[in-house]
A and B are shown apart, each in its own frame.
Chain A
Amino acid sequence: MSELFFLPSWPPAGAIPWYALLLLAAAIAGELTRRWLRLPRLLGWIAAGVLLGPHATGLIDAATLGGMRGILDVAVGFVLFELGQRVDLGWLRRNPSLLATSVLESALAFAAIFVVLLALEARPLFAALAAAIGIATGPAVVLSLTRELRAQGQVTERMLLLTSLNCVYAFITVSMLVAWLHHEYSGEWLSILSHPLYLIVGSLLLALAFALATLGLLALLGRREDAQFIAVLALVVAAVYAASLLKLSGVLVLLGYGVMARAFDVKRRFVSLAFGRLGQILFILLFAITAASLDIGLLPAGALAGAALIAARYAGKALGVLALAPLSGLSMRKASLLALGLMPMSGVALVLLHDTAALFPRLGPDLSGVVVSAIVMLEVLGPAVAYFALVRAGEADTTGRT
């Protein structure tokens, strides 16, 4: 034992102090971003994460960051659940052009990224995987901006709806491609069909089970908001772990859980549930931890391909949204703002990337180079552009209370 045993040891043991540091730095950076730059707080949270993370100052090292992975999964799950809860599938029935818009913008984004990456001489399967990941808009970004700006209106509502749908499309496309890859590597036909089927059907069934359990529980607890809130939070955490335990898709389970919890809530018991401050903490942690784990060192090598991916993705999404705007009852001006609102890309794309890389380690580095570069660039560009879109659409609350 050291003679100076009475002095505190450095670095501190356990993750708790690091959470405190991360939250404090992010909260301060967020307020400064808001006040001085007049930009959304989440850019400050991201900056704080990058700065403290292993790829910049290294104050929070890779091992500590790895220990924070658990809370990150919960935060992502929570965001997806909240997004799902906001989405009204009945709208697609009442305005079928919206469903067409969502399929078209996703398909065009996929095609554009695929073609551009092929032109940059990527292998077709990599190009397809990167394109599939690129379909998804970052749900945490759009939801966080909507909350912060208290945005309401067609651009906001459609941004949230299209985001939740394209996350599902991205997931399904990726898992089909993964199945195809599996076949290429192992030659087993059974897994081509059974694995995506297990993922999709299994995830939806799990989501259904959680949705019904939640509604039953809420009915039992009655209209006591704090009790309801805690119960729902606990069930969301449970759903995140159940999904990973059963090797199902967290994205699909949590989104589906949110959507179904709303759809089956005929008596509207659930609607006034707001996740308020605790939700805010999860958002901060989500952005800061994600940012800290981004390897900005990949940027120089992947910048060109990343930028090409971003441009192609935007072109595809914009074309899809604009083409069907008149049919779906949106002005061209608002449609072009909506296309900007679909730019963000982060958490879910990383999840999909990790899942793929975990299944096929040999693919990891190539794919990560391009996709992570794109994510790093969009980490700043996406929120800024989406913020601009909501403000220009006149849907943000500009009374200064944000």
Chain B
Amino acid sequence: METLEFKPSAPLTLGVELELQLVNTRDCDLTRAASDLLALIERRPHPGEIKPEITESMIEVSTGIHARYAALLAELRAIRGALVAASDRLNVCVAGGGAHPFQHWSERRIFDRPRFQNLSQLYGYLAKQFTVFGQHIHIGCPDGDDALYLLHAMARYVPQLIALSASSPYYQGVDTAFDSSRLNAVFAFPLSGRAPFSLKWGEFTAYFERMRASGIVESMKDFYWDIRPKPEYGTIEIRVCDTPLTVEKAAVLAGYAQALCRWLLVERPNRVSEEGYLAYTFNRFQACRFGLEGEVVDTASGVRRSILEDILVTLDAIDVHARELECEEPLERVARIAREGNDARWMREAFADGGSLPDLVWLQSRRFRGSE
């Protein structure tokens, strides 16, 4: 049985998980390649960890623990290199993006592992529709109380992370009008949304035990929250980002989250309360639907502004902390993304240019390689 003991970790250390798409080189549809690719990669030592995910057309890569952005970026690039080399030999392409633009969920096959088969039985078509691809960012916390504080303080910045990372405008062959359609697939699950408000690890443990005793969940893995504590790693896990089109952007998002967290932990600039969640789902919808042009409402201060402006204001505030963490570079990139547009915008422009969704996926896979 899982104990919910929070293992302390070095504060503000970073780790990233990326779920990636495996597509064929013919029509760029998702393809069954995870086991072949993993078998080939596992033959010799490689950077990072590469694991199967729920369907055969998906893999998850994760980095080790890093204190600094530069090291994280270097490892992500090394993992990308290993993936690209192996996938070339198998005639498969690896691509980023939060959802595959035209795959049909009914065609997906569930990876042959008991946990995945159980999920598929329980959730039926939802499990297959869950063929979406996210980036998870882990931030180290010294103890459980700090983790809960950070979790609830970060909720205010969830819309920013959604808008910056959004890369799933197309889903099941149509333009969804959303910048991130992926999160709509996540909402369908009964235990999605946000963590209950409490700032004491003891209270949280009691909540979890009640949920487990009543048979609603078996482990923390059953919660599909936007941000959830990961006690065995000693981290909070931010799960709202779409997988960006490049590993470089994945590192930038992680660097931004790290600087934000340092600011929040050190300065404790906002009062954290249940009140703060009043506008949460509204803001989140704005970010998914309109991306950087979406509007966020801060119910405490009454301020209402576009996510783009909100990001620029935040960047100013966390500037000092970025210097401490040696991550000025990703923050400059964040400002550039905010001004020039996110991956969803790039994808819409690329589609308008080429005119076909397979062609778009092809371009996505080129970008992932770093060749464009």
Contacts and interface: CB of A to CB of B under 8 A. Distances in A.
B294 interface: no
A152 B39 CA distance: 16
B27 A271 contact: yes
Contacts of B86: 329
A326 to B, nearest CB: 9
A394 B56 CA distance: 11
B35 interface: yes
B25 interface: yes
A252 to B, nearest CB: 22
Interface string B10-33: 000000000000001111100111
Interface stretch (A90-98, A308-316, A374-382): A90-98
Given A86-B26, A269-B356, A395 B89 contact: no
Interface string B342-372: 0000000000001110110010000000000
Interface string A104-119: 0000000000000000
A152 B359 CA distance: 21
B214 to A, nearest CB: 34
A269 B107 CA distance: 22
A91 B25 contact: yes
Nearest to A333: B39
B120 to A, nearest CB: 11
A94 B91 CA distance: 8
Contacts of B354: 267-268
A135 B91 CA distance: 24
Contact of A154 (B28, B90, B355): B90
B275 to A, nearest CB: 48
Contacts of B40: 329
B222 interface: no
Nearest to B57: A152
B36 interface: yes
A35 interface: no
A2 interface: no
A90 B25 contact: yes
A157 B362 contact: no
A268 B365 CA distance: 14
A95 B35 contact: no
B89 A271 contact: no
A397 B109 contact: yes
B91 to A, nearest CB: 4
Contacts of B26: 86, 88, 262, 271
Nearest to A269: B356
Interface string A319-332: 00000000011010
B90 A267 contact: no
A268 B28 contact: yes
A185 B10 CA distance: 86
Contact of B36 (A86, A95, A153): A153
B75 to A, nearest CB: 24
Contacts of B90: 95, 154, 157, 329
Contacts of B88: 94-95
Interface in B15-70: 24-28, 31-33, 35-36, 39-40
B36 A154 contact: yes
* Best-buried of B26, B88, B89, B358 by chain A (most CB within 10 Å): B89
Nearest to A271: B27
B5 interface: no
B329 interface: no
Contacts of A267: 354-356, 359
Interface in B261-278: none
B232 interface: no
A152 B356 contact: no
* Best-buried of A90, A153, A328, A334 by chain B (most CB within 10 Å): A153
Given A88-B25, A88-B26, A90-B25, A328 B89 contact: yes
Contacts of A334: 36
Nearest to A92: B91
A275 to B, nearest CB: 13
A247 interface: no
Contacts of A88: 25-26, 91
A69 interface: no
B93 to A, nearest CB: 11
B24 A152 contact: yes
Contacts of B112: 394
A23 to B, nearest CB: 28
A269 B359 CA distance: 8
A269 B31 CA distance: 20
A59 B26 CA distance: 43
A90 B89 CA distance: 11
Interface string B88-107: 11110000000000000001
A19 B358 CA distance: 38
A57 interface: no
A153 B91 contact: no
A9 interface: no
A272 interface: yes
Interface string B71-90: 00000000000000010111
Given A88-B25, A95-B89, A271-B27, 17 more contacts: A88-B91, A91-B25, A95-B90, A150-B107, A152-B24, A152-B31, A152-B32, A153-B33, A153-B36, A154-B36, A262-B26, A267-B354, A268-B356, A268-B359, A271-B26, A329-B40, A394-B35
- 10 nearest interchain CB pairs? A271-B27, A152-B32, A329-B89, A91-B91, A94-B88, A268-B359, A95-B89, A154-B36, A268-B358, A329-B40
24 contacts: A88-B25, A88-B91, A91-B25, A91-B91, A95-B89, A152-B24, A152-B31, A153-B35, A154-B36, A154-B90, A157-B90, A223-B355, A223-B356, A262-B26, A267-B355, A268-B358, A268-B362, A271-B27, A272-B356, A328-B89, A329-B86, A395-B32, A397-B109, A399-B109
Interface of A: 86, 88, 90-91, 94-95, 150, 152-154, 157, 223, 262, 267-269, 271-272, 328-329, 331, 334, 394-395, 397, 399
Interface of B: 24-28, 31-33, 35-36, 39-40, 86, 88-91, 107, 109, 112, 354-356, 358-359, 362
